[in-house]
C-alpha cells in the first residue's frame, strides 16, 4: 500500500506526496521534527514539523529568485548572509557568483544542517566544500543584533520558514530593524513572504513594516509548486537603488550573461516579469 506524507499548513486544505520508499530521516531535534524522504512526484523532500521546506524538484524557483535577482542587480556584492537556510540551497546559489567573498549562513538547528549535508548532496555538496562559506549554528535574530553584524552585508536573504514555531522571531518590526542595521549602504535584503492565496496577510504586514524601516522596498513573485497555492510572494528592501528599474534589469541581464550562470528557473525575462502582480495580489499591497 502506498504511503503518503500529508501537509496541513493551511486551514481547510492539504497536500499529500506519495513516498517512493521508507523515510530517510524521521527524528526530533531540539527545535522541530525533521523528516526527509523520497517521493514519486516531487523528488527528495524535507519537512520540518510536517511542513514542506525543500524539494529537489522545485527548490530552484525559490533559491534562485531570492539570490540571483538582488545579486545581479547589485553587481558588486561581496558579503552575503543567509537567515535560516540550513539546506544550503540559498548559499549554493550565492556562491555561484565569483565576486562574492563570504557567505554566512545562520541557522538555529544544527541537526537540520547535518541531515541536509547527508541527504541533499545533489544541492549542497559544492557549497559545503566552499571556503567562502561560514555556517553559524545560532539564532539569526540574535546574530543580526550583534555589534559585529552592523553594516556588514551587501545582501541578506531571509530564507525564513512560515511564521510558526522557531521561525516566528524572523517576522515583525524588530527583525526588519536588525536587518537594516546589518546591511551595508547600497545593500539589499530579500524575504520569503508567504503564499498570498492562503496567507494574504503576510504581504500586507511585511510591506507595511518594510516601508517603515527602509527607504526602498517592494514585492516580486515566484512559483514553487510544493509551497502550495500558486504564487509565492518574495519581498525586497534596500538602502540604495530600487530593484526592477529598467537600468537595474539591463545591468542584471548583462551580468547574467557574463557570469554564465546555469539556472533552472531564473533568466533575465523572468527577472523583468516577476514584478508584475495580478490584480488580486495588487490589492493586498498596502
Q: Which residues are catalytic?
A: 159
Subset of 35-74 contacting its own copies (CB under 8 A): 39-42, 57-58, 60-61
**Nearer residue to its own copies within complex by CB, 18 or 26:** 18
By C-beta, is 28 or 283 nearer to its own copies?
283
The residue from 17, 146, 174, 212 that contacts its own copies (CB under 8 A) is 17
Find the shortest distance in angstroms from Cβ 184 to its own copies.
Answer: 30
Please, which residues have CB within 8 angstroms of residue 98's CB and are 6 or more apart in sequence? 259
HSE value, Cβ hemisphere, 13 Å, CA-based, for 4 = 7
Check: CB of residue 151 under 8 Å from CB of residue 181: yes
By CB under 8 A, how many residues form the interface with its own copies? 46
Distance separating alpha carbons of residues 175 and 109, to the nearest angstrom: 19
**What are the cell numbers at 129?**
566544500
Site for its own copies contains 284 (CB under 8 A): no
3-state SS class at 80: strand
Site for its own copies in 168-187 (CB under 8 A): none
What element of type H or E holds 3?
A: none
Helix (H, G, I), strand (E, B) or coil at 282: helix
Q: Do strands 33-38 and 44-48 pair parallel, antiparallel, or not at all (unpaired)?
A: antiparallel
For the record, the C-alpha cell of 264 comes out as 533552472
d(CA 39, CA 5): 9
Report the nearest approach of its own copies to the CB of residue 73 (Å).
Answer: 17
Nearest-approach distance from CB 83 to its own copies, in angstroms = 25
Among 13, 122, 125, 250, binds its own copies (CB under 8 A): 13
Task: State whether residue 119 is helix, strand or coil.
Answer: helix
Residues between 68 and 87 that touch its own copies (CB under 8 A): none
Q: Please say which residue, 145 or 225, places its beta carbon nearer to its own copies.
A: 225
Q: Which residues pair with 7 in a beta bridge?
A: 15
Q: Which of residues 195-234 bind its own copies (CB under 8 A)?
A: 197-198, 223-225, 228-231
Binding of residue 260 to its own copies (CB under 8 A): no
Q: Provide the binding-site residues for its own copies, judged by CB under 8 A.
A: 4, 6, 10-18, 20, 39-42, 57-58, 60-61, 197-198, 223-225, 228-231, 263-267, 269-270, 272-280, 282
Amino acid at each position: 500500500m502506498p504511503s503518503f506524507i500529508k501537509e496541513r499548513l493551511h486551514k481547510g486544505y492539504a497536500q499529500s506526496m506519495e513516498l517512493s520508499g521508507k523515510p530517510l530521516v524521521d527524528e526530533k531535534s531540539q527545535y522541530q521534527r525533521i523528516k526527509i524522504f523520497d517521493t514519486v512526484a516531487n523528488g527528495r523532500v524535507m519537512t520540518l514539523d510536517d511542513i514542506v521546506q525543500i524539494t529537489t524538484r522545485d527548490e530552484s524557483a525559490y533559491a534562485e529568485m531570492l539570490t540571483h535577482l538582488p545579486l545581479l542587480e547589485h553587481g558588486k556584492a561581496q558579503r552575503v548572509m543567509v537567515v535560516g537556510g540550513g539546506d544550503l540551497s540559498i548559499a549554493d546559489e550565492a556562491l555561484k557568483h565569483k565576486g562574492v567573498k563570504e557567505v554566512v549562513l545562520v541557522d538555529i538547528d544544527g541537526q537540520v544542517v547535518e541531515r541536509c549535508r547527508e541527504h541533499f548532496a545533489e544541492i549542497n555538496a559544492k557549497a559545503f566544500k566552499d571556503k567562502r562559506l561560514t555556517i553559524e549554528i545560532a539564532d539569526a535574530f540574535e546574530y543580526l543584533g550583534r555589534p559585529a553584524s552592523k553594516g556588514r552585508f551587501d545582501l541578506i536573504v531571509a530564507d525564513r520558514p512560515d511564521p510558526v514555531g522557531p521561525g516566528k522571531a524572523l517576522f515583525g518590526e524588530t527583525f526588519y530593524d536588525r536587518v537594516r542595521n546589518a546591511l551595508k549602504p547600497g545593500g539589499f535584503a530579500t524575504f520569503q513572504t508567504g503564499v498570498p492565496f492562503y496567507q494574504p496577510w503576510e504581504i500586507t504586514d511585511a510591506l507595511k513594516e518594510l516601508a517603515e524601516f527602509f527607504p526602498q522596498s517592494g514585492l516580486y513573485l515566484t512559483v514553487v509548486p510544493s509551497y502550495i497555492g500558486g504564487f509565492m510572494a518574495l519581498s525586497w528592501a534596500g538602502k540604495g537603488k530600487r530593484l526592477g528599474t529598467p537600468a537595474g534589469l539591463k545591468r542584471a541581464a548583462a551580468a547574467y550573461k557574463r557570469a554564465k550562470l546555469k539556472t533552472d528557473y531564473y533568466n533575465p525575462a523572468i527577472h523583468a516579469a516577476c514584478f508584475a502582480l495580478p490584480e488580486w495580489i495588487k490589492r493586498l499591497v498596502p
